Amino acid sequence: MERVVVEPLATGWAVRTGAFDNLMVFRSGGAAEQAGRTVALALAATGQAAELRLRLKDGSTAGRFVCLPPTERDPDPLMVGVRPRGRVRAGTPDLSPA
């Protein structure tokens, strides 16, 4: 499952994923969140499940979503909200399964 992370930078916000070589950088968190959702849904549309994590400025996880690929019965990818696993802070190992 590909992971897409929206996280704060010193100035601005970033969307990072292993699917891209470079960060996508935005001035606002809202724009970065929308781009992260778009990337996660696009990955799911190609048949690859994706996880979207939204991080706050303090490094904690604000939201977590799983994007599932389309099925024969539903041609659109599905984004499902998942409860974040505790408060994961920047610099702290994330022990949740990949």
- If you write DSSP's letter for every residue of 69-80 in order, what string do you get? PP-SS--S-EEE
Residue ranges of the domains in the chain?
2-82
pLDDT digits 0-9 by tens, 30-65:
999 999 999 999 999 999 999 999 999 998 999 999
Q: How confident is the model at residue 98 (pLDDT cuts 50, 70, 90)?
A: very low
pLDDT of residue 74: 87
Average pLDDT, the chain: 87
Residue 47 CB neighbours (<10 A): 9
The model's pTM is 0.81
In sequence order, the β-bridge partners of residue 63 are 54
pLDDT of residue 97: 47
Q: What value, to the nearest 5°, has the Cα angle with vertex 5 and ends 94 and 58?
A: 65
